[in-house]
A and B are shown apart, each in its own frame.
Chain A
Amino acid sequence: RKEVEQDPGPFNVPEGATVAFNCTYSNSASQSFFWYRQDCRKEPKLLMSVYSSGNEDGRFTAQLNRASQYISLLIRDSKLSDSATYLCVVMDSNYQLIWGAGTKLIIKP
């Protein structure tokens, strides 16, 4: 079983729609969680950290469920520029980042 699992997609979504991604992790001792965005042939960029209480940044909302060991990302009112691969990342107790394989999102006009 992979340490961090994501649905690879692609998710084809019309512009303006709401889309949600889920990610599960296997190590219950994981301490920090993040969503990164990666454009084609570019480096990953931090989108947002994920806190137990849930957090929101504009159109983006992240949730963490420690009991079920999953993380979610919700994108509202999706834009064409949201098209990218979204990577779920978990930090273990040794401060090492464990990466999901990413979910590809394609926003269509």
Chain B
Amino acid sequence: GAVVSQHPSRVICKSGTSVKIECRSLDFQATTMFWYRQFPKKSLMLMATSNEGSKATYEQGVEKDKFLINHASLTLSTLTVTSAHPEDSSFYICSASPDRNNYGYTFGSGTRLTVV
């Protein structure tokens, strides 16, 4: 089945530093990947849609200069949280699907970011 690998699973960083999160599709090519964040006891919130070879599409209210997305290949998308602040602490999850007609989106295992 479709497997999405996300790394790291946990990261603690200091305020002001940047953190990169990787999302890889292991057994399929993903022209589109999605980045979500989830606060405790809340639903997933779509941050942006990552498109291979082009700019990401950000949801309203998400700062594109703060959350840099790069989708340089068909199997890798990265999310970089720049100049992290404590309020950026959250659970970040990526997802992808082998094709649009495959409705079973597969999620990475998530990255728990804590900014201190």
Contact = CB atoms under 8 A, between A and B. Distances in A.
B43 A102 contact: yes
- Looking at chain B, what size class is its interface with the partner chain? 20 to 34
Interface residues of A, number: 18
Per DSSP, are chain B's interface residues mostly helix, strand or loop, or mixed?
strand
Given A32-B103, A46-B104, A96 B93 contact: no
A100 B109 contact: no
Contact of A95 (B100, B106, B110): B100
A88 to B, nearest CB: 9
Contacts of B91: 41
B58 interface: no
Contacts of B46: 96-97
Nearest to A91: B103
Nearest to A94: B49
B105 interface: yes
Interface string A72-104: 000000000000000100010001110111100
B8 to A, nearest CB: 14
Interface in B39-75: 42-46, 49
Contacts of A87: 43-44
Contacts of B35: none
A26 B67 CA distance: 29
A45 B43 contact: no
Interface string A22-63: 000000000010100000011111100100000000000000
A97 B109 contact: no
Interface in B85-116: 91, 93, 100, 103-110, 112
B15 to A, nearest CB: 23
A62 to B, nearest CB: 13
